[in-house]
Amino acid sequence: MPHIVIEYTANLGAQARIPELLKTVNQTMIAQDGVFPTGGIRSRALRLDDYRMADGAADDAFVHITLKIGSGRSEAVKKQVCDALFDAVKAHFAELYEKRYLALSLEIVEFSETGSYKHNNVHSRFKKT
């Protein structure tokens, strides 16, 4: 953990620069002073071909990010992480935001470890010896 799911409307096309956004998201999470183990960070983007925004009359677009984390972090840490992540997303889309109607949003979902099953050997690559 964490898992970052980015949903974006298809009308953003290549201008969304999704591969670059995924890289930025992961770098932002890694930079959070060890809050999350690097080997557990996952990000993915889902292009939405079927959607409707507002009244459907304009070429409106949106990007919604869900940050899924396990429980146990303080409110201050969660705020710090979400602030950093949302700032990075806003910076990524700043130029596009100035040119078109675009809604950006972020939510955090925290769940109990008893509801999460994991089998992951990627962590071993990041252990300090």
Integer CA distances (angstroms), 86 to 24, 81, 108, in order: 11, 9, 11
pLDDT band at 129 (very low <50, low <70, confident <90, very high): low
Domain ranges of the chain: 3-126
Catalytic residues: 2
How high is the pLDDT of residue 65? 98
65-76 per-position pLDDT tens digit: 999 999 999 999
Per-residue pLDDT, 114 = 77
Q: Which CATH architecture has domain 3-126?
A: 2-Layer Sandwich (3.30)
Q: What is the pLDDT of residues 86-105, one digit of tens each?
A: 999 999 999 999 999 999 99
